[in-house]
């Protein structure tokens, strides 16, 4: 018998893009937990941010922070040996990304060479991140605790945007666009991390993977799962940049659409 594993984005998917509430998804989360179906957060958020949701929702499964920068697996979660990069705070960590300090250096060099103003989270105070993102102050502080990914804005015209993104790729790095910000990262994305973690889940049982997301940075993850679902944006549209034959478009925004998918699949 196949067993499910759920990979999910947070902002705009499990969590409302405007209010940051997951209340509408709670009935579906309860069903998954009751059936011991793993819920893997696969998000641009930091480990510090994710741990808040894990505590509040009492979810103990592995998670993928900062657009696939690493995989954090609770010690003892898998009953077999596997390779990992380091052990910290009760996790075995499989590191896939480039360290944060290096990414900051790259953006500074690109800003200097192109003459385009780039503002990253590392340039902002928690208060400024809060104002920019709509996060409360404590959440903004956690959002700045980055390890593998830098969210940034490009202050300039389309020429500047094109120049900066071209320079990121020319330097051997990747970028993606989330709901609010661009992100620079190393040679990693949500898809690579999803594939590696799926292989671990599949070692002892036959799994069917479910993926839920809402924007371009979810595309690599959605391409890796068996059942990919794209949720509506707050305006009721689907991100036109996310499209491939197997993709299922859901009529439902954020946690409401999330609950709808899980209910139809599991119940």
The set of catalytic residues is 9
CB atoms within 10 A of CB 72: 24
In this structure, are residues 25 and 14 in contact, taking their beta carbons and an 8 Å threshold? yes
CB atoms within 10 A of CB 23: 11
What is d(CA 234, CA 249) in angstroms, rounded to the nearest whole number?
14
List of E strands, 9-127: 39-42, 63-64, 70-74, 86-88, 91-95, 117-120
DSSP string, 132-193: HH---HHHHHHHT--SS-EEEEEES-HHHHHHHHHHHHHTT-EEEE-SS-EEEESS--HHHH
In this structure, are residues 7 and 223 in contact, taking their beta carbons and an 8 Å threshold? no
Provide φ and ψ at 44, rounded to 5°.
Answer: -85, -5
For 233, which DSSP code? P
- Using a 10 angstrom Cβ sphere, with 0-12 exposed, 13-18 middle and 19 or more buried, the burial of residue 160 is middle
What is d(CA 130, CA 126) in angstroms, rounded to the nearest whole number?
6
Closest CA to 224 of 253, 257, 239, 246: 246
């Amino acid at each position: 018998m196949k067993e499910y594993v759920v990979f999910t984005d947070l902002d705009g998917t499990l969590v409302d893009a405007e209010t940051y509430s997951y209340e509408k998804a709670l009935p579906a989360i309860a069903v998954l937990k009751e059936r011991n179906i793993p819920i893997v957060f696969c998000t641009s958020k930091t480990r510090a941010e994710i741990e808040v949701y894990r505590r509040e929702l009492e979810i103990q499964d592995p998670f993928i922070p900062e657009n696939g920068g690493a995989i954090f697996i609770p010690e003892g979660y898998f009953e077999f040996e596997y390779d990992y990069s380091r052990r910290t705070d009760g996790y075995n960590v499989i590191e896939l990304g480039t360290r944060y300090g290096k990414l900051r250096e790259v953006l500074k060099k690109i800003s200097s060479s192109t003459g385009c103003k780039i503002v990253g989270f590392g340039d902002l105070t928690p208060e400024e991140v809060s104002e920019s993102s709509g996060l409360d102050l404590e959440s903004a502080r956690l959002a700045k605790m980055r390890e593998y990914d830098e969210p940034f804005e490009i202050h300039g015209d389309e020429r500047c945007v094109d120049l900066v993104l071209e320079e990121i790729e020319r330097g051997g790095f990747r970028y993606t666009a989330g709901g609010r910000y661009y992100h620079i990262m190393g040679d990693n994305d949500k898809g690579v991390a999803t594939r590696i973690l799926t292989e671990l889940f599949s070692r002892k049982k036959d799994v069917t993977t479910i993926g839920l997301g809402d924007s371009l940075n979810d595309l690599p993850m959605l391409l890796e799962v068996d059942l990919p679902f794209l949720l509506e944006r707050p305006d009721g549209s689907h991100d036109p940049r996310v499209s491939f034959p197997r993709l299922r478009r859901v009529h439902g925004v954020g946690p409401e659409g999330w609950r709808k998918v899980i209910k139809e699949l599991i119940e």
